[in-house]
Amino acid sequence: MPQVIDGDSLLKNIKGLPTEAFFVDTNIVIAYKDPFAAALKNPSLEKYNDKVSELLDKLKSEGFKAYSTLSVVLEYYKYIQVNFYKVYKSSATGKETFSLDSEDFKKLKTNDSDFITKWKIYLESFKKPFKKNIIIIDKTLIPKNVLDSFEGTKIDFGDHLLYEIVKTYPKYKCIFTNDLDFYSIDDDDLYIITFNKGIIRKAKTDKKLFNL
Amino acid sequence: MHKVVEIVNNPVLLASDKGDKLYRHLKKALGAKPFKEITLDFEGYKFLSSTFLNHAFGQLCIDLKISEKQFFNKIKFVNLDEDDLDEVTLCVLNAQMRIGIIKKGHDEKKFYASIAEY
């Protein structure tokens, strides 16, 4: 079971991170960028996003590198694509849209100049965190091994791919996430940075809360 | 010239209350429609967050019903990093979409809760 680092404690003792660098999960990129301003008028979400941004920026300014993987980039792209479509359609039509219609998306991105102009702005925004703040480091994994080691009940495939990369960097074996699933990984050397109270509670009970 | 760092009394432009401070200043400076033209000087700022931008500019667009074109016609930006100016553009665009969501009578809270889910 991984060791859990309470994000609030780490904010107070930023130099206490036991690894040289850390990996960033998709939910953290979303909280960091809030690409659709979903937290506006949602004080609790805003507070959470602000803490994530503060921690990420402070760790970086202390010299800890923030890394991520192409699997996270792909998940973040899907988040941007699906939600841009939802927001665009719902703001332009009287019908609330809660899912992506791929065929309609293709049509809009080919024929609708207003859609194309706005989509380009979101595309640039999608690329930005990985160009500026979070470095993508991927290693070539052996597909057969990745598939064989994926048992599919504890974590989803995107998280599995992230963990498979993290494993290859022992000095950076740390994931900044809000996802409880990572806590189920059978790995005592893995660290999880989180603000998720559920994970922190469990770690306390299991005596897996890292003492900063 | 309106100096942002002086208005919010801080070079770190991260917290929502700093954004609210700039919002109140801008609302007063712009006046009533068709709004005055103003220049915002970001000289000396250190960090900029989307929370700050959403509170300062996003909320302003929503409350005063300012279009993207009007916004950039009326407010000029100097000494702002190019990447951060892109963030302002995104923030204004997000505000326009939110105005659309509200105008169409959708449940804003429920809709944006669905966006926040991951």
Is residue A94 scored above 90 in pLDDT? Answer: no
pLDDT of B100 reads 95
Percent of chain B with pLDDT over 70: 100
Segment A89-106 shows an average pLDDT of: 90
Q: Residue B86 half-sphere exposure, CB side, CA atoms within 13 Å?
A: 16
Q: At B117, is the pLDDT very low, low, confident or very high (cuts 50, 70, 90)? A: confident
Assign A57 to helix, strand or coil. Answer: helix
CB contact under 8 A, B112 and A41: yes
pLDDT of B3 reads 97
> Chain B within 8 Å of A116 (Cβ-Cβ)?
no
CA nearest to A45 within chain B: B116
Percent of chain A with pLDDT over 90: 89
**What's the pTM?**
0.94
Domain assignment of residue A212, yes or no? no
For chain B, strand residue ranges (E) read 2-3, 12-13, 38-41, 47-48, 75-78
Domain assignment of residue A201, yes or no? yes
> pLDDT of A128-178, one tens digit each?
999 988 999 988 888 898 999 998 888 999 999 999 999 999 999 999 999
Q: At A110, is the pLDDT very low, low, confident or very high (cuts 50, 70, 90)? A: very high
Domain with A112, as residue range(s), is 3-205
Is residue B118 scored above 90 in pLDDT? Answer: no
Report the alpha-carbon distance of residue B88 to residue A104 in Å, rounded: 29
ipTM (interface pTM):
0.91
- E strand or H helix that includes residue A111: helix A102-111
> Chain A within 8 Å of B43 (Cβ-Cβ)?
no
Task: Identify which of A30, A49, A57 has the shortest CB distance to residue B51.
Answer: A49
Report the alpha-carbon distance of residue A123 to residue A127 in Å, rounded: 6
> Chain A within 8 Å of B85 (Cβ-Cβ)?
no
Task: Identify which of B47, B55, B107 has the shortest CB distance to residue A57.
Answer: B47
Domain assignment of residue A32, yes or no? yes
Domain total in chain A: 1
Q: At B74, is the pLDDT very low, low, confident or very high (cuts 50, 70, 90)? A: very high
Domain assignment of residue A147, yes or no? yes
CB contact under 8 A, A96 and B83: no
Report the alpha-carbon distance of residue A103 to residue A13 in Å, rounded: 49
B101 CA to centre of own chain:
18
Domain with B87, as residue range(s), is 2-116
Task: Identify which of B14, B101, B118 has the shortest CB distance to residue A91.
Answer: B101
Is residue B116 scored above 90 in pLDDT? Answer: no
Is residue B47 scored above 90 in pLDDT? Answer: no
Segment A34-40 shows an average pLDDT of: 96
Task: Identify which of A41, A54, A83 has the shortest CB distance to residue B115.
Answer: A83
Domain total in chain B: 1
> Chain A within 8 Å of B40 (Cβ-Cβ)?
no
pLDDT of A139 reads 80
Assign A58 to helix, strand or coil. Answer: helix
The amino acid present at A209, given as its one-letter code, is L
pLDDT of A54 reads 92
Question: Which tokens sit at B39?
Answer: 């220049």
pLDDT of A143 reads 87
Segment B71-96 shows an average pLDDT of: 96
Q: At B93, is the pLDDT very low, low, confident or very high (cuts 50, 70, 90)? A: very high
CA nearest to B114 within chain A: A98
Chain B neighbors of A92, CB-CB under 8 A: 100
Percent of chain A with pLDDT over 70: 100
Is residue B9 scored above 90 in pLDDT? Answer: yes
CB contact under 8 A, B104 and A94: yes
Segment A52-63 shows an average pLDDT of: 94
Would you tell me which residues 32-91 of chain A have a C-beta closer than 8 angstroms to some C-beta of chain B?
Answer: 33-42, 45-46, 49-50, 53-54, 57, 79, 83, 86-88, 90-91
